[in-house]
Amino acid sequence: MTLSVTVLGCSGSYAAPGGACSGYLVRAGETAVWVDAGPGTLANLQRHLDLDELDGVVLSHAHPDHWVDVLPFHNVVRYIKPRTGLPVISPVRVRELAAEVNGDLGPGFDWQVVADGGVTHIGALTFRFSRTDHPGETLAVRVDGDGASLGYSADTGPGWSLAELGPGLGLALCEATLAPEWAGTVQHLTAAQAGADARAAGVRQLVLTHLQPGVDADRSRADATEAFGAPVGVAAIDDHHEVHP
């Protein structure tokens, strides 16, 4: 199967009405990995696969809009569909917080801590991590599979670039949390900043995500398209994108 990403949730900071926070199902070949587990994404994940079929979980950072659904998912692997050794990859702080809430994370999870520059393989997918410009250790990720490459910014301010993920990104999911008037106030991006950075990084296709509820998606799309120099998408739940080499 071609490298692909399905949007499970894309609200920034908190979920919009009927929405879900950050989460993506990334697949290539027979491999399926849940990248970020924001609130609401466990429910949406089950529309796309049986939870038995999941091969791993990758979590970008400790802000609750990116990982807390892994806590009830631990109930699934521990009690309901028991399994052992499912890879969960995150910065150290996420593992600490998860252990405070759920106690022993094994044997269901094989929780592995990763940091800037780390590389992890899950089945047919390779993950490379890059520390972004965002409070607390936050890791953007490049995913390679089936000869194609996907970039995910996680959360970042303008002090980091998609270029840190390396050349040849067929598609980038880039955060665009902020309305233009909020530029520079917090370590997040506006849509125009996301578009300009993706252009500079040589990204072929750009999809904005993590828009804060209330931010005008049409205006964000227009701002990013102007800065990127080609049409830009705005993520919506259940969107499916194939990433081509």
Helix or strand holding residue 234 (H, E): strand 233-234
Longest dimension (CA), the chain: 50
Query: Contact between 197 and Zn ion (CB under 5 A)?
Result: no
Angle between helices 191-200 and 217-228 (to 10 degrees): 30
Cα of 189 vs its chain's centroid, Å? 15
Tell whether the torsion through CA atoms of 90, 92, 98 and 102 is positive or negative. positive
Closest approach, Cβ 219 to Zn ion, in A, equals 20
Helix-, strand-, coil-residue percentages of the chain, each rounded to 5: 25, 30, 45
Closest approach, Cβ 22 to Zn ion, in A, equals 6
152 three-state secondary structure: strand
Closest approach, Cβ 65 to Zn ion, in A, equals 4
Kindly indicate which of the ranges 29-37, 56-64, 76-84, 141-149 contains the residues binding Zn ion, using the contact rule CB under 5 A.
Answer: 56-64
Interface characters, 152-191, with Zn ion (x: CB under 5 A) = ---x------------------------------------
Select 68 or 105, whichever has its Cβ closest to Zn ion.
68
Select 220 or 225, whichever has its Cβ closest to Zn ion.
220
Closest approach, Cβ 40 to Zn ion, in A, equals 13
For binding to Zn ion (CB under 5 A), which residues are involved?
63, 65, 155
